[in-house]
Copies of this chain bind each other. A is one copy, B any other.
Amino acid sequence: MKARVTIMLKDGVLDPQGEAIRHALGGLGFAGVSGVRQGKVIELDLAASDAEAARAEVARMCEGLLANTVIEKYAVEIV
C-alpha cells in the first residue's frame, strides 16, 4: 500500500522559499502569480494492508518525525 503525505507550512507562517519562487517567476515573465507556498511531499511504501490502520500509522509518523507540527500542517492520502 502506498501513502502520500503532503506537508505545508501553516497559514500565516512566513514562507521565504515560496516567496523566492514567486519573485523568480515574475522575473521570467509569468505575470498573474499572486502567491506561492512550497511544501514537501513524501511517498511511503507500506506493508500494511488495512487502509485505516495505515492512515493512523502514517499520522503517527508525521507527528513523530515527518512534520514539525508547531509550524507545519500535514495531510495523509492512501493511494
- Given A65-B21, A65-B25, check contact A57 B41 (CB 8 Å): no
Closest to A7 in B: B41
Considering only CB atoms and an 8 Å cut-off, how many residues of chain A contact the other chain?
Answer: 32
Q: How many copies does the complex hold?
A: 2
- List, in ascending order, chain B residues with CB within 8 A of A78's CB: none
- List, in ascending order, chain B residues with CB within 8 A of A28's CB: 61, 64-65
Inter-chain contact B40/A44, CB cutoff 8 Å: no
Q: Once bound together, how far apart are the Cα atoms of A18 and B43, in whole Å?
A: 9
Q: Is A47 an interface residue (CB 8 A)?
A: yes
Contact residues of A with B, CB < 8 Å?
6, 8, 18, 21, 24-25, 28, 30-48, 57, 60-61, 64-66
